[in-house]
A = this chain, B = another copy of it.
Amino acid sequence: MLLARDLALELLSGRLSPIDLVARCAETIAARDPEIGAFAALDIAGAEAAAAVPGLAAAPLAGLPLAIKDVIDTRDLPTQYGSDLYAGHRPAADAAVVRQVKRAGGLVIGKSVTTEFAFMQPAGTRNPRRLTHTPGGSSSGSAAAVAAGMVPLALGTQTGGSVIRPAAFCGVTGYKPTFRTLPTVGMKTFSWHLDTLGLFGARVCDVGFAAAALTGRDLDIGDAVAQAPRIAVVRTARAHLAEPASHAALDAAIAAATRAGAVVREIALPDEIEAADAAHPVIQDFEGNLALADEFDLHRDRLSAVLAAYLTRAAAVTPDAYDEARRTAKRARQRLGDLFADYDMLLTFSAPGAAPAGFETTGSPAFNRLWTLMGTPCLNVTGCADAQGLPVGVQIVGRFGRDRAALLSAAFLERALAN
């Protein structure tokens, strides 16, 4: 994989030029993407032209190429949201986060494959770790592009589990920052209280570096890690959905963290927090019914069967049920804040197991939805694998708004698992 932070330092020092890095990415894409299918659109020439701008290496992203999930508007590249309905669509303006990328000196090298409107219909991308397996979704292409070394960084989005799950399946670091840390303006909305932009990179320090460069926030942790963090392990009420490989990965993470000096304790999540897991689909359904109303009302026949059926069901959620779900979520957020008085981080599953074989499903967001609704920073940490050698991730959940601490916690665990 390409190491974003190290490459940025090489670019800044002049030992590497943005043009050469684009060429390296383009070569890897040419070699590997025909079998992986991570890209919905490419703009190598555009990235080359942008790479030639003098002084680029002094910018925060230093000329690093990025893949942008194709639910995010780009004025220079087609934006199809994973749907034939938008074949050839060219938005009038870049999404806010795309402007952040360009303002920071990042190069948009292509649009990465998304499932249809970031929902559940698989989109054909293959997992670079095993081509017979799904890369997960809905940020399928973003995770796969980083895993295959085609780009050092990629932008994705998570409404259920669409950053952490594909990161886990592809063996890359996925980072879902605190809700609204990255602006969603110009992203195709599915659920405005859930849609969260996130980042994919090789290591924890790479996604932290990228988030710092995009937002100007103090998130570039470099070599630092958390010191002796207090870790609460939460297998959650859905622990039975986790396969042995995921339990084994969590056990390995616990052992590694303990060896590295962490104070680790297994706890049951308070009922008020667990209750919010069931509130997530209510909120997503109610808002999805409105956010995709145009497509559903006017072009139902051109939606996938799974999405059309979902939106049909979603229309039945009442305002009262929605309001109650929002209240449940609010109570859970407050209770979760209390929990962080005693713990620096939560440690849980990233996904039920390793990437499922085949392409019938992109996997389950069962271990992600609650944290999306909580708005907390989450990271998939790499370093574990199942008996077949497929990556299995573990997930760090940090405190709302404390993203630097979450990154440092994740870096602690990443290092512990590597030792």
Contact = CB atoms under 8 A, between A and B. Distances in A.
Interface string A162-196: 00000000000000000010011110010010000
Interface residues of A, number: 32
A290 B183 contact: yes
A297 interface: yes
A93 interface: yes
Contact of A291 (B183, B287, B291): B183
Given A89-B92, A216-B318, A99 B293 contact: yes
A291 B189 contact: no
Interface string A83-95: 0001001001110
Select the residue from A86, A184, A186, A215 with max chain B CB neighbours within 10 A.
Answer: A186
Given A185-B290, A290-B100, A297-B102, A192 B215 contact: no
A286 to B, nearest CB: 10
Contacts of A290: 96, 99-100, 183, 185
A302 interface: no
Contacts of A189: 185
A353 to B, nearest CB: 34
A323 to B, nearest CB: 8
A192 B216 contact: no
Contact of A183 (B99, B183, B192, B319): B192
A319 B295 CA distance: 36
Nearest to A99: B293
Contacts of A183: 192, 287, 290-291
Nearest to A93: B294
A78 to B, nearest CB: 12
A215 B291 CA distance: 14
Contacts of A259: none
Contact of A319 (B94, B192, B217, B297): B217
A265 interface: no
B319 A96 contact: no
A275 to B, nearest CB: 20
A319 B216 contact: yes
Contact of A192 (B93, B100, B184, B318): B184
Nearest to A401: B323
Interface string A263-298: 000000000000000000000000100110111010
B185 A93 contact: no
A294 B295 CA distance: 26
A75 interface: yes
A24 interface: no
A75 B294 CA distance: 9
A313 interface: no
Given A185-B189, A291-B183, A293-B100, A319 B92 contact: no
9 contacts: A75-B294, A86-B92, A96-B293, A96-B294, A99-B293, A100-B293, A180-B192, A184-B192, A185-B192
